[in-house]
Structures are given as C-alpha cells and as structure tokens.
C-alpha cells in the first residue's frame, strides 16, 4: 500500500503534486500543535500548571487541565478521579479579567443514578473530552463575544452531581460527593495562577451550572482578596422553580430532596436561607436570590424547555402521554396546556419581583421555549440578527451593558406568543 501511494505521487501532474504537498504540510503542522499541547498537559497542565498556551484562533479547541493536586484534599469526582478545567488565557486589556464558567449537566439523586455517572464525563475526569470548543460567552472571537473575548476564560468541568455544592462520602457505595471541595480547590488554584490580582471577574454557568453560579456567587466574592475587584455573576437557565406539576405534585422538589440528602448539601447552602427554611427549599434559587449581596444577572426563558419536560410534565406525572406532543413542540400545545404554561411564566415573574428592585441586579427573561442561551453563538450574539432580543437588544449586549454599568437591564418579555425573535427554540 505504501509503495502504491509513492508511485501515485510520482506520476501525479504538477498541480496534483502541489496540492498533495500542501495537504501534507497541513497534516504535519496540525500534528505538531497537538503534540505541543499534549506535552504541555503532561508537564505543565497535568498538575495544574499556571501557564496555558493562548489559542491562536477563535475556533481552536482548548485543552484540559487535570488538577491532580486536588486529590490530597479530597476534591474529587464521583468515582474518585481528580477534577479538571479548561483555560484559555487572556490577552491585552483582558489579561486581568476572568470569566469563570461552571459546567452544567443535571444532578443525581440516588445511588444508582450517581453510580451511572461514573462511566461518563459527569462523574469521572477519565471520561472528559481532552479538548473542548469555547463558544458564546466563552468565545475568543470579538465579533461573537465583544465584551469578554480577550479575558481569561475558564470552564470548570462538572463531575459531582450536585451543582458543586455537596460534601460527603458514601463508603458503602464507594461514591464521592465532593462538589464543594472541587469548587474551592479549583478557585484557589486559579487565584494562585493569577486571578488573585484580577480587576474584573464574571462567574457564569448554564443549567445546573447556572444554579451553581447562584449558590457560589457570594462565596467567590469572599475568596477574592481585593474588595475593589468587580465581581458579578450570570446564571443562565438556572432559575429552577419549586413548581406544581401537571399531576398536582412537586416533582422537582421530590428530586431535589434526594440530591440534597445524598450529597450532604445543606451545610454549603446560604445561611440566610437555611436559618428559616429547610435545605431543599434553599436549593431553589427563588428562595436565595433576594439575599445574595453580589450582583447577579438572571438569564432565563419564561418557558424553560428543561423545566417543562422534567419538572412540569415529567413522564411520571403524565402516564397517559397527554403532554408528549406539547413537550416536543409548543405549537402542538392545546389551549389548556398553554394556560398551564402561562401560569408557570407568571410564577417565574413573581419569583424575581423583589430581586429586580435592586439596581445592582440584571434580568433577561424572554418568552422562548429554550434552555440555556449564553454558551452558543446562535443565541448569545448572532451577527445575522436572528438571536433572541428584548427591547431591541440581544443577550450579549444586555449582559455587557449590565456588567459594565452602561445601562440598567431589567427586561421581562410579554407572554407567548408575542416574541418573534425566538428562532432558536429547543
């Protein structure tokens, strides 16, 4: 086979030879870059090295850093493997600014579900992708991410199953629930790597990561040594409501009961909440957002697709399957179902009423059927002008205006179906 390739190359026409040579150069160059990154991971990143190679192009992937040193303090994934993160270092004016993104991925509320995670990236760093793309608010492209593209951008991988908030070990099952320790270990490592001198920090997260951003917002402020540093938090798709489902029960509350108990979450919840409410109630953002002192921006769909499917109309609450078509396509919802969904929107609007009165906080609650909008270009900042918008302003511009104090952003959409910018419904 090798001889055939050589012969074919020798007999090729001049333009074919040139094309093959160019392809060969590109392949070799790509291999060199990959080898350099792998070498860096082994000698500088495997133990949480401070310096990471700057991505040379916005569409290149960002390598993983396995924080082996965290194991000594018990900061491990469910299966006992070390925690991990991805860092794309800042440049120019963004050298002393940081976006910290907490990865999402649901929760596990019983031993079987948590053990199942051991065989995936959500429970073991052994199964995490070694390179990931940074898009949306994590993008290095100025056109896609005009306010934060040059910042140090960190994605903390999620492998504990309780929004980085648990801290216990189940010896009988051999399962580690150390989300709080993972959070503390990686943040302290990043402080040593330069974040301690940060001028600006934005903590973000989507879904379970969005909940984590709320739970850890004041904690991050307290961990940063310089009180003059601007610290703010963005929760995307993290406003999970303690809502009644279609069968009249509270499916998500029941699920959260298991998460909070199994993972030992209670001691790490805000004391301003647990001093008068049970721990499960304090795992719901609606019960803690009013007392958080650090500025927060809530980005959420009033008809959150995940909550409709898993909290409002989960299969267990809909044994006849009456909601199946509506969950798959909101255009298939009947009048009664739409009325139920409008009630959910009303509950969300009521949940943020007091929160919105603070001048330090921001809101972008649109009437789309989607879950998470900050981490993909199509919804974060689509240059073609087809991404979601409120008051003629897209999400990236809204978050930037709020963070930098360019404008107050308290945008709540009118009820469905008035919004014609929801082109990215999921």
3-state secondary structure of 188: helix
Q: Which residues pair with 180 in a beta bridge?
A: none
Q: What is the CA radius of gyration of the chain?
A: 23
Closest CA to 78 of 101, 102, 110, 35: 110
Please tell me the number of Cα atoms within 13 Å of 120 on its side-chain side: 13
| 393-394 and 389-390 strand pairing | antiparallel
In the DSSP assignment, the letter for residue 300 is E
Report, as residue numbers or ranges, the catalytic residues: 207, 304, 371
Helix (H) or strand (E) holding 394: strand 393-394
Enter the tokens of residue 131.
């390179």
Q: How far apart are CA 271 and CA 280, in angstroms?
A: 13
Q: Count of CB atoms within 10 A of residue 60's CB?
A: 17
Q: How far apart are CA 318 and CA 234, in angstroms?
A: 33
Enter the tokens of residue 363.
């809101």
3-state secondary structure of 82: coil
Q: How far apart are CA 90 and CA 137, in angstroms?
A: 14
Enter the tokens of residue 27.
């392949």
Read out DSSP for 118-187? TTSTTT-GGGS-SEE---GGG---TTT-TTTTTSEEEEE---SSSTT---EEETTTTEEE-HHHHHHHHH
Cα→Cα distances 88→136, 342, 345, 415, Å: 14, 41, 37, 39
Cα torsion 120, 157, 302, 166: sign: positive
């Amino acid at each position: 086979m090798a001889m055939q390739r050589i012969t074919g190359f020798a007999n090729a026409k001049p333009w074919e030879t040139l094309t093959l040579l160019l392809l060969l150069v590109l392949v070799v160059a790509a291999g060199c870059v990959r080898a350099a990154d792998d070498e860096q991971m082994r000698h500088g990143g495997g133990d949480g090295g401070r310096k990471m190679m700057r991505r040379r192009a916005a569409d290149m992937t960002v390598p993983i850093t396995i924080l082996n040193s965290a194991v000594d303090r018990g900061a491990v994934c469910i299966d006992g493997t070390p925690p991990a993160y991805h860092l794309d270092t800042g440049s120019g004016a963004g050298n002393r600014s940081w976006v910290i993104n907490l990865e999402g991925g649901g929760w596990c509320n019983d031993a079987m579900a948590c053990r199942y995670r051991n065989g995936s990236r959500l429970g073991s760093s052994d199964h995490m992708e070694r390179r990931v793309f940074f898009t949306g608010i994590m993008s290095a492209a100025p056109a896609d991410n005009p306010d934060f593209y040059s910042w140090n951008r960190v994605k903390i991988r999620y492998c504990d199953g309780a929004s980085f908030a648990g801290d216990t070990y189940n010896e009988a099952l051999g399962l580690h629930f150390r989300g709080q320790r993972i959070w503390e270990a990686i943040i302290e490592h990043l402080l040593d790597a330069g974040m301690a001198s940060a001028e600006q920090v934005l903590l973000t997260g989507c879904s379970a990561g969005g909940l984590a951003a709320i739970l850890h917002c004041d904690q991050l402020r307290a961990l940063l040594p310089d009180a003059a540093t601007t610290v703010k938090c963005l929760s995307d798709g993290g406003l999970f409501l303690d809502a009644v489902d279609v069968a009249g029960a509270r499916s998500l509350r029941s699920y959260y009961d298991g998460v909070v108990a199994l993972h030992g979450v209670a001691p790490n919840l805000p004391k301003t909440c647990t001093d008068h409410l049970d721990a499960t109630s304090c795992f719901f953002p609606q019960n803690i957002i009013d007392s958080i002192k650090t500025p927060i921006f809530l980005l959420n769909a009033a008809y959150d697709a995940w909550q409709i499917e898993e909290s409002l109309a989960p299969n267990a609450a809909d044994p006849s399957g009456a909601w199946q078509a509506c969950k798959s396509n909101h255009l298939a919802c009947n009048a009664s179902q739409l009325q139920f969904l409008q009630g959910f929107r009303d509950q969300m609007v009521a949940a943020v009423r007091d929160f919105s009165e603070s001048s330090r906080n921001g809101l972008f609650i649109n009437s789309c059927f989607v879950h998470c909008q900050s981490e993909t270009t199509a919804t974060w900042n689509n240059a073609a002008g087809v991404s979601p918008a409120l008051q003629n302003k897209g999400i990236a511009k809204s978050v930037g205006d709020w963070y930098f104090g360019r404008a107050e952003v308290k945008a709540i959409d009118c009820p469905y179906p008035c919004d014609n910018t929801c082109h990215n419904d999921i």
